[in-house]
Amino acid sequence: MKKTPVVFVTGATGFIGSHLVRRLLKESYNTHILYRTTTSSSRLDDMLSKTTKHNVDICNKKSLEKLLKRIKPDYIFHLANIGIYGGKESPDEDVVNVNFLGTVNLIQSSKDIPYKFFVNTGSSSEYGRKNKKMKEDDSCFPESMYGITKLASTLYAQNFAKKTNKPVLTLRLFSPYGSYDDPNRFISTIIKQALANKEIRLTYPKNVRDYIFVDDVINAYISCIKNGNKLSGEIINVGSGKQHTIEEVLNTVTKLIHTKSRVVKDDTITRYESVIWQADITKAKNLLDWRPTTTLEDGLKQTIEWYKQNY
Give me the domain span that covers residue 163: 6-177+212-241+279-293
Confidence band (pLDDT; 50, 70, 90) for 116? very high
- Which secondary-structure segment (H or E) carries 175? strand 175-177
Residue 86 scores a pLDDT above 60: no
Alpha carbons 164 and 115: distance in angstroms, whole number: 13
Residue 81 belongs to a domain with what CATH number? Answer: 3.40.50.720
Quick check: is 111 in a domain? yes
Quick check: is 184 in a domain? no
Quick check: is 304 in a domain? no
> Closest by alpha carbon to 87, among 183, 177, 21?
183
Alpha carbons 28 and 225: distance in angstroms, whole number: 13
Mean pLDDT of 129-135: 95
C-alpha dihedral (132, 148, 190, 294), degrees to nearest 10: 50
* Residue 287 burial (C-beta neighbours within 10 Å; 0-12, 13-18, 19+): middle
Confidence band (pLDDT; 50, 70, 90) for 145? very high
Quick check: is 289 in a domain? yes
C-alpha dihedral (149, 153, 156, 161), degrees to nearest 10: -170
End-to-end CA distance of the chain: 44
**DSSP letter, residue 127:** T
Alpha carbons 16 and 78: distance in angstroms, whole number: 11
**DSSP letter, residue 100:** I
Quick check: is 274 in a domain? no
Quick check: is 257 in a domain? no
Quick check: is 171 in a domain? yes
The tally of domains found in the chain comes to 1
Mean pLDDT of 48-70: 95
**pLDDT value at residue 85:** 56
Using a pLDDT cut of 90, give the percent of the chain over it. Answer: 86
Quick check: is 270 in a domain? no
**pLDDT value at residue 143:** 92
